[in-house]
Structure 1
Amino acid sequence: MTPVDPAAATDPGQSGVPGVDRPVCVLVGAPGAGKTTVGRLLAARLGVEFADTDEQIERTAGKPISDIFVDDGEDHFRALERAAVAEALATRRGVLALGGGAVLAEATRALLLAHLVVFLSVELPDAAKRTGLSAARPLLAINPRATMRQLLAERRPLYEEVADVVVPTDRIDPEQVTETVLAALDDLRAQS
């Protein structure tokens, strides 16, 4: 894939061009799919910035997401998430990774229709290994394996709804996933 010109990636002059006035691509998927890891690799390969809305929320709130859930509740976190995603979609020009639950908001799904979205798909065994089903992930605190299974089942249709490309990540290292995403982006670019 041809790297994106970093100067062009921040120029808001053209309308509707990924990397020029919107993100090059947006990564969605369940916890443990590899959005942050693959996103960083992908951004490096393309020569563009990387942003993760979960990291932005933590910076803005001044505390980890797990603390936001405990201190303020899931509804408050989801409101912060909707705002962070809307801002990132409007202002970021590189590779953008969304939190696993971002697609739950209908308004977010509507915004994603104007973007190139890659769904990094993961099944339960790999998701469980990668997340460690840790207490740092607030939605997985009680009966983590069953909760993860339920999250995957509930969210998969939403990820598929917004995705232009689906890339399975099971039993594949992040570098190989990155190569697959790059090839898919090339294919999409060739079709347009």
Structure 2
Amino acid sequence: MVSESRPVAVLVGPPGAGKSTIGQALADALGVAFHDTDTAIESEQGCSISDIFVLDGEPAFRALERAEVARAVASEPGVVALGGGAPMDADTREVLAGHVVVFLDVGIADAAKRVGFDGSRPLLAINPRATWTRMMNERRPTYEAVATVRVDTAGRDVADVVAEIVEHLGAAR
């Protein structure tokens, strides 16, 4: 059990990398809480992220996201999963400095299976495969820059990915 008030690990990566699923399984394996910043924003706002994008615009969502990430990284003692775009914000990158940040890497084939590209993700609503590929090409350098650990999730089951992350966390302590 962890007694610090900072995350054991912060998960970053694109839509479909498995941040929520792997994050929950990792938290369970470590015996700590799991916190998903997107879920927290939806709960606080009383509507979906898609609705926030439509009603208030992306800049409004990013401001909410920036604040929630800063709060979570400062006070959540377990595993924290960030939305895919969160690390693109310079303030968020500063907040992540000094933390164990796990980049869950994935290719488009696996991401498509996991996400389904069904339009529920606002940034992937139009031509989802091309948009995801472009987004990943733009975001990859940032994910790699903020990460202390990179784990490829493509073609792997959750237990295998969690075991690799636990192994990295053990080596980091």
Q: Shared fold by TM > 0.5?
A: yes
Correspondence for 1:86 among 41, 57, 70: 70
Matching residue of 2:15 = 31
Give me the whole-angstrom Cα distance separating, in 2, the residues matched to 1:175 and 1:124.
21
Secondary structure class of the residue paired with 1:60 = helix
Query: Residue type of the partner of 2:121?
Result: R
DSSP 3-state at the match of 2:159: helix
1:124–1:152 contact (8 Å) kept in structure 2: no
- Structure 1 vs Structure 2 CA RMSD: 0.8
Quick one: distance in 2 between partners of 1:174 and 1:155?
23
**3-state SS of paired residue (2:117):** coil
Partner of 1:45: 29
Query: Structure 1 unaligned runs (5+)?
Result: 9-19
Could you tell me how far 1:170 is from its partner in structure 2?
0.1
Following TM superposition, by how much is the alpha carbon of 1:186 offset from its aligned partner in structure 2, in angstroms?
A: 1.2
Deviation at 1:128, TM superposition (A): 1.2
Structure 2: where are the runs of 5+ without partners? Answer: none
CA distance in 2, matches of 1:144, 1:39: 24
TM-score (norm 2): 0.98
Partner of 2:138: 154
1:113 equivalent in alignment to 2:91: no
Aligned residue pair count = 173
Whichever residue aligns with residue 135 of structure 1, its letter is: G
Q: Superposed, which structure 2 residues align to 1:128-143 within 5 Å?
A: 128-143=112-127
1:126 is the counterpart of 2:85 = no
Task: Work out the CA distance in 1 between the residues paired with 2:124 and 2:160.
Answer: 28
Residue 77 of structure 1, CA deviation: 0.6
SS in 2 for 1:129: helix
**Match of 1:76, as an amino acid?**
A
One-letter identity of the residue aligned with 1:43: A
Higher relative contact order (CA 8 A, sep 6+): 2
Q: 2:51 aligns to what?
A: 67
CA–CA distance in structure 2, aligned partners of residues 29 and 54 of structure 1? 13
TM-fit CA distance, 1:62: 0.4
Q: TM-score, normalised by structure 1?
A: 0.88
CA radius of gyration, larger in: 1
What is the CA-CA distance between 1:21 and the residue it aligns to? Answer: 2.7
How much does 1:161 deviate?
Answer: 0.6
